[in-house]
């Protein structure tokens, strides 16, 4: 199936009232597992590569090209997205590699500087047919720079989107990156206010810390793109630990990494079932099965 644009996947989800799972790729096994999980669920998915993962690999080229190749071979619509990029050169490289979207994160800057920098990136990406996500309100927990408890103001969010022409907006509603427990409670009333004020899809970062019930509620109130990374890393690592613990002589990386891959695929399928289920209230939803 041809590589799908992130904007197309998000627009379909908005029309039909469901969420989109956006899962982070660190190793090739992650990309393979996420696509396998999406194929089992029969729905679209977004593969994300963060600037931190790029730093780990020493560059975007190899991991980015491999992830695009996995996406192109999928039996369901798959988009590839650059997550939390703070460098314009990295954004430009992602565009050249065929990514469908980039998240340019200037949220640590003062508001006016965030607007200026984001608008410039959006203009350049749009000229290449690539969608742009930005962040306003600083979601907690990333590299220790984001303020815990921050909240995005709906009026400011609407003005930011108008000023920058971004295609999706990550907002602060009470979640935090890198949580190992699932006890974060998104501000559902604020999500509804933001949905009413902001004309582009909303993105929930730090979703690993949110349990199933509140993920579904967040989608029902207006969140569209749901970013999950740490939760899947826990599943992967747990399966690897179990495989190694069960056999002290095991040295074949294909065996224990394969166990991690299978665990992530199963969890992706389960999570996509929650995110794409028909909402309790709101527009009728269905799954992307194109």
CA dist 271 and 228 (Å) reads: 10
Dihedral angle, C-alpha 110, 115, 118, 123, nearest 10 °: -160
CA dist 215 and 166 (Å) reads: 24
239: exposed, middle or buried (Cβ count in 10 Å: 0-12, 13-18, 19+): buried
Quote the radius of gyration of the chain (alpha carbons, Å): 18
Q: Do residues 36 and 270 lie in contact, with contact meaning Cβ atoms separated by under 8 Å?
A: no
- Catalytic residue among 83, 105, 167, 187, which? 83
Beta strands 78-85; 45-50: pairing state: parallel
Residue 83 catalytic?
yes
Q: Do residues 37 and 268 lie in contact, with contact meaning Cβ atoms separated by under 8 Å?
A: yes
CA dist 46 and 31 (Å) reads: 10
Question: Which residues are annotated as catalytic?
Answer: 83
């Amino acid at each position: 199936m041809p590589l799908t644009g992130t904007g197309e996947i998000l627009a379909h989800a908005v029309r039909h009232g469901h969420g989109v799972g956006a899962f982070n790729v660190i190793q090739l096994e992650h990309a393979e597992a996420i696509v396998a999980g999406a194929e089992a669920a029969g729905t679209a998915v977004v593969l994300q590569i963060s600037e931190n993962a790029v730093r780990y690999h020493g560059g975007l080229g190899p991991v980015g090209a491999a992830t695009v190749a996995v996406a192109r071979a999928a039996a369901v619509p798959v988009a590839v997205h650059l997550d939390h990029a703070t460098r314009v050169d990295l954004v430009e490289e992602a565009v050249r590699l065929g990514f469908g979207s980039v998240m340019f994160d200037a949220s640590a800057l003062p508001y006016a500087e965030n607007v200026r920098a984001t608008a410039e990136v959006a203009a350049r990406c749009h000229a290449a047919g690539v969608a742009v996500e930005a962040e306003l309100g600083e979601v907690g927990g990333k590299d220790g720079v984001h303020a815990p408890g921050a909240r995005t103001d709906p009026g400011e969010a609407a003005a930011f989107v108008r000023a920058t022409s971004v295609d999706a907006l990550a907002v602060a509603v009470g979640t935090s990156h890198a949580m190992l427990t699932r006890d974060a409670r998104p501000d559902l009333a604020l999500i509804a206010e933001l949905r009413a004020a902001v004309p582009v899809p909303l993105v929930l970062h730090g979703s690993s810390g949110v349990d199933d019930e509140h993920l579904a509620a967040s989608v029902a109130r207006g969140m569209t793109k749901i970013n999950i990374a740490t939760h899947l890393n826990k599943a992967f690592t747990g399966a690897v630990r179990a495989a190694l613990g069960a056999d002290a002589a095991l040295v074949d990386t294909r065996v224990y990494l394969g166990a991690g891959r299978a665990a992530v695929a199963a969890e992706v399928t389960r999570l996509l079932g929650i995110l794409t289920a028909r909402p309790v209230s709101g527009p009728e939803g269905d799954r992307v099965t194109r």
